[in-house]
Structure 1
Amino acid sequence: MPLATTDSPLLLLPGLWHGSWCWSEVVAELAGAGRASVAVDMAGHGLQARREPRWYTRRSYDPEAVATEVSPVADVHLDDAAELLTAQMRLVGGGAPVTVVAHSASGIVLTRVAQETPELLARAVYLTAFMPASGVPPATYNGIPEAGEYRLGPLFTGDPAVTGALRLDLATEDPAYREAFREVMYHDVAPDLADAAMGLLTPDAPVGITLGTTTLTANGFGSVPRTYITCSRDVALRPAVQDRFIAEADAAFPHNPTSVADLPSSHSPFLSMPRELASVLRDLG
């Protein structure tokens, strides 16, 4: 099938702890369908993580260090993540608009970029992602009634105000901890694939990315075509919260309603159903 040159390139942005690697099967499926795409790392993640925290690579496990060591990405904030994404978009698009697909908390970064540089976006796509309303801290949505039990919260190690990170204790040998994380993020992913993915995660996600807010305007974020891909089996970001994001955006910018697609997936459809996800993304402008 020839390359769909009339479509903007897809730039795939992973969420917290994940790197560009998580999109590999989706990129392959898109290539087979003739749609150009590239996966990148978010600031503080993957190859942008600088180095692993010391506690993670020590030969002997030190729970005190896990809980207290300041993260090497503690100084990464939403402004930094938005600046990097903007540079990636300019590179991939050659100055022309691109379609950005943001997963989970990287939606916070996409929203900031959509507000600041809407001319670089052909479409903003939120894959079971945070799409916070104007001026609302993203963490607010973890405590709303629609969110139910926040199952990721108990899995964080240490105080983010001390470590500067939302830290996963991926060095632990506690099978219950690892199983709890798998159930939240990958419950419909084959166990061996889920284990492989966990081995590639960056243990520290910069908390500063999740603390930033963005004031949204009609000429900024409100002017960008947007699509929300809901995941109806997601227990990390509940479907009711996903629906809340859509409703708030449409109420704020009714002239530019959100188009919606749905996948019967967990929080990680790029692993559990890459072909189906690619099929949705293939046809986006």
Structure 2
Amino acid sequence: MPAASPLVLVHGFWHGSWCWSEVTLHLAAAGRAAVAVDLAGHGLYARRPAWFTGRASHHSEAVTTEVSPLADVSLDDAAALLTSQIKRIGGEPVTVVAHSAAGPVLTRVAQQTPQLIARAVYLTAYMPASDVPAAAYTRLPEAAGDRVAPLLKGDSARIGALRLDFATDDAAYRRALHEAFYGDVDPALAEAATGLLTPDGPLGIMAGTTTLTPDGWGSVPRTYLTCTGDMAIWPAVQAKFIAEADAAFPDNPTSVVALDASHSPFLSIPDEVAAVLAALD
């Protein structure tokens, strides 16, 4: 039996490769090779606005108006970085697991270089249809009432980012953040994770589009891990991604695994996430 492909774990907006630490421990115990990488504009590639770092006064005007230092980061940039990270691993194709806003990046990479991807896995992630920006799904009726949109600061188009204020001492705002992302995560762990988040997610990643073809993205085996308690990407939106993909590429249907979790199962149920991933071909 051939060895299972290595796993490349990619976090979503505002997070970093650190969020996969518990999952990678469980994967190591299961004997599955895995590496977590940083998304463009995050982790070791993060660039923080002045108000967040204390180089400018932290007040409402700066939070809502300062142009993001990530405003120039595009979907092209993010895909190029992920492609280079995959190539550095070398050897056989890898299984890429994308969470949330990393979904469009995985889609672009799988379309451009399908030979690098053994399987594309979307963990409650944006999986946009051909030539549709991920941002368009946040405006659908199925997305109405999500818990993230009310927390965004400023005009995203003007500042070039989806911005959250993780530096605030507003207790109600921080509770709402935890509910949106970490509803089923231990409160102490949720607070620790919040302290590691960066404020800006590059709008360019969500605004970019990819033309999907049968010999590109449509040829790559794909799995979607739904999260039934997600308050950031509602289950109805997750279902729409799957339905659109299967309608476009019916000869390569999406395999679906349901997780009883919030938007961040890598923190709330890392053992279950690892077990699902370890079982993938």
Tell me the TM-score normalised to structure 1 length. Answer: 0.96
* RMSD of aligned alpha carbons: 1.3
Residues 210-266 of structure 1 show CA distances to partners (whole Å, capped at 9, x for unaligned) of 000111000000000000001111111111111111111011001111111111000
1:40 alignment counterpart: 37
> Partner amino acid for 2:40?
A
Q: Is 1:119 aligned to 2:115, yes or no?
A: yes
Deviant stretches of 4+, over 3 Å: none
Find the aligned partners of 1:218 and 1:231 in 2 and give their Cα distance: 28
Is the counterpart of residue 150 in structure 1 residue 152 in structure 2? no
Q: Does the CA contact (< 8 Å) of 2:134 and 2:206 recur in 1? A: yes
Tell me what 1:28 maps to: 25
Q: How does 1:96-175 map to 2 (within 5 A)?
A: 96-175=92-171
Q: Is the 8 A contact 1:151 1:184 kept in 2?
A: yes
Contact residue 125 and residue 226 of structure 1 kept, 8 A: yes
| Residue of structure 2 equivalent to 1:219 | 215
Displacement, 1:95? 4.5
Alignment of structure 1 residues 222-233 onto 2, 5 Å: 222-233=218-229
1:105 match: secondary structure: helix
Asked if 1:251 is matched to 2:247, the reply is yes
Aligned residues: 280
Deviations 1:125-184 (A, max 9, x none): 000000011111212212222223132111111112221111111111101111111101
Give the structure 1 partner of residue 266 of structure 2: 270
CA distance in 2, matches of 1:95, 1:216: 26
Contact (CA 8 Å) 2:184, 2:268: kept in 1 or not?
A: yes
Q: State the 1:17 CA deviation.
A: 0.4
CA distance in 2, matches of 1:150, 1:23: 24
Distance 2:270 2:278 in 1: 12
Matched-pair contact (CA < 8 Å) for 1:95–1:120: no
Aligned partners of 2:140 and 2:152: how far apart in 1?
19
Q: Which residue of 2 aligns with 1:242?
A: 238
Between 124-133 and 57-66, report the one with greater CA deviation: 57-66
CA distance in 1, matches of 2:24, 2:219: 28
Match of 1:71 in 2: 68
User: Which shifted more, 61-70 or 224-233?
Assistant: 61-70
> The residue matched to 1:111 in structure 2 has which SS?
helix
Normalised by the size of structure 2, how large is the TM-score? 0.97
The one-letter amino acid of 2:24's match is V
Work out the CA distance in 1 between the residues paired with 2:126 and 2:87. 23
Contact 1:158–1:167 at 8 Å: present in 2 too?
yes
* Structure 2 residues not aligned, in runs of 5+: none
Q: Which piece of structure 1 moves more, 97-106 or 143-152?
A: 143-152
Instruction: Supply the distance in 1 between the matched residues of 2:143 and 2:64 (Cα, whole angstroms).
Output: 26
* Alpha-carbon contact 2:146-2:234 (below 8 Å) kept: no
Q: Distance in 1 between matches of 2:120 and 2:248?
A: 16
SS at match of 1:200: coil
